[in-house]
Structure 1
Amino acid sequence: MIGLVMAGGKGTRMDISNEKLLLEYKKPVIFHVIDALKNSHCFSQVIVATSPNSPDTKHVLEQNRIETLSTPGNGYVNDLNFLLQKMSGSVFVTSGDLPLLDEKIIQVITEKFNSENVWTSFLVSKKFLNSLGLESSLLVNSDNIECAYTGISIINVNKLELGNWPSPVKENYIILDDNRIAFNLNTRKDYELLNSS
C-alpha cells in the first residue's frame, strides 16, 4: 500500500500569510502526518503531493529528503486524478492538515479497509465533530447519520476506471469517531482550538 499525503492546497480559508501545512504544532503540521504514516509501517512508500500553490512546503519537504510528486495545482479532485493515474494497487490518501494523526489510528484504518471496495472514505459523525468544537460545511449521510469527511480515503486504483473518473464511483463509508482524524485545520479558529487543547 502507498501512503499519499495531499499537500498542494492554497489554504485560503486560514487567512494567514504563510502556508497552512507549515504552521507549528510542536513541529510543522505536515510532519505530524508524514511521521504517522512512516511510523505505522503500513506502507511500502510514503509520497507527498505538492503543487505550485505550496512552494514553501515543497522546499521544506525536499530539504528533509521527503519524496514529493508535483501536481498542476488545479484543485483537489483534479490533482488526485493526476496522481492516481501514476499509481497502482491500494493507495491511502490523507490531507496534510491532520495534526493529531498518529500511527495507531492509521493501523486501525488500514485494518478496516476491504480491498474488494474501489473507494473507502473515512468519516466522523457531525455530532462528534461538534463535540470537539469543530464544524464542517461538507456533510454526507451514512446510515442515516450526518457525517463529515476526514480527508482520509483508501482507493483500490486497480479497480478504478481512471478514464471515467471523477465520474461517480461507488464510495463506501466507514464512520470512525476519533479526534485523531476529526481534527483538521481548515480555519484560523481550528488552529487556535488546537493550540488551546
Structure 2
Amino acid sequence: MCGGRGTRLDAPVEKPLVDICGRPMLDRVAAALRDSSVERVRAVTSPHTPNTRDRAADLGLDPIEAPGDGYVSDLGFALDRVSRPVVTVVADLPLVAPEHVDAVVSAADGGAATACVPVELKWDLGASVDDALVFDHEGTAVCPTGLGVVGPADAEAGTHTDTDTDTDTHPTMYLSTDSRLALNVNRPTDIALAEDRCE
C-alpha cells in the first residue's frame, strides 16, 4: 500500500520514496516481500503518488492504481483485483523483514491475520503513535503495524471496511515485540529512529 498523501511526514518526495539508509521505503518493503514466501508482489498506488507508481513499475511490482480515496477504500479497491489470501503491507514500514511476513502468513494459517505491537514499545522507542488505531488486546494497548493477511472468506463477505490491515471480521492477532515492526515512518522524527536501526 503506497498511495497515501503522506501529509504528516511533510517530505520533499512522495512518502514511499523517502530514503531510509540510502534506499526508498518502497524498495525496502518490496525486497522484504520478495525474500519471503509471498509468490507475487504488487504495489497499490494512487493519483497522489505518480512517482511511486513509476518506481513500482521499474521494480516490476505491477502497480494497481487505486482512486486515492483513503487507505480503507484503496485497500478494498485493490482486494477486488487480486486473489486471496493476500498479504498487505504499508510502504511506511521500512524495517519489515521476510521473517515478519512469513510469521504473519503462518499465523493466518490460510485465513486472516494482523500484526500488532504494544503501544508501550512504540513509546519506548520514541516512535509516533496514531491514537485512532490503538485498541485493547487482553489488557495490553496495541496498534496495527500495517502488515497483515486478508483471508479468502473476505472476498465473498465483502468486509473490507475496518481500519488498517485488519479488514477481516475475526483476524488472528500476531503480536510482536520486534522494534522493526514498531517503526512506521509517519513523521519526520520517525525517519531518524528507523535509520538508527537499519541492518
The answer for the alignment partner of 1:179 in structure 2 is 179
* TM-aligned CA deviation for residue 196 of structure 1: 4.2
The answer for the alignment partner of 2:70 in structure 1 is 75
Answer yes or no: is 1:132 the counterpart of 2:114.
no
1:116-155 superposed matches below 5 A = 117=111, 119-136=112-129, 137=131, 138-155=133-150
Answer yes or no: is 1:16 the counterpart of 2:8.
no
* TM-aligned CA deviation for residue 102 of structure 1: 1.3
The answer for the alignment partner of 1:36 in structure 2 is 32
Identity %: 27
Q: How far apart, CA to CA, are the structure 2 residues paired with 1:50 and 1:183? A: 21
* TM-aligned CA deviation for residue 164 of structure 1: 5.3
- Structure showing the higher strand proportion among its residues: 1
- Alignment partner for residue 100 of structure 1, among 95, 102, 107? 95
Secondary structure of the residue that 1:170 maps to in structure 2? Answer: coil
- Tell me if structure 2 keeps the 8 A contact 1:100–1:183: yes
The amino acid across from 1:127 in the alignment is E
Q: CA-to-partner distance for each residue in 1:124-169, whole Å, 9 max, x for gaps? A: 0011111211131220111111001101111113344444542782
The amino acid across from 1:188 in the alignment is P
- What is the count of residue pairs matched by the alignment? 189
TM-score by length of 1: 0.87
- Alignment partner for residue 42 of structure 2, among 43, 47, 50? 47
Change (3 A) 1:59 1:130: same
* TM-aligned CA deviation for residue 58 of structure 1: 0.8
TM-score by length of 2: 0.87
- Tell me if structure 2 keeps the 8 A contact 1:124–1:147: yes
- After superposing the two structures, state which structure 1 stretch, 157-166 or 126-135, moved more: 157-166
Answer yes or no: is 1:64 the counterpart of 2:66.
no
- Tell me if structure 1 keeps the 8 A contact 2:107–2:172: no
Gaps of 5+ in 1: 1-5
Q: CA RMSD, aligned part only?
A: 1.9
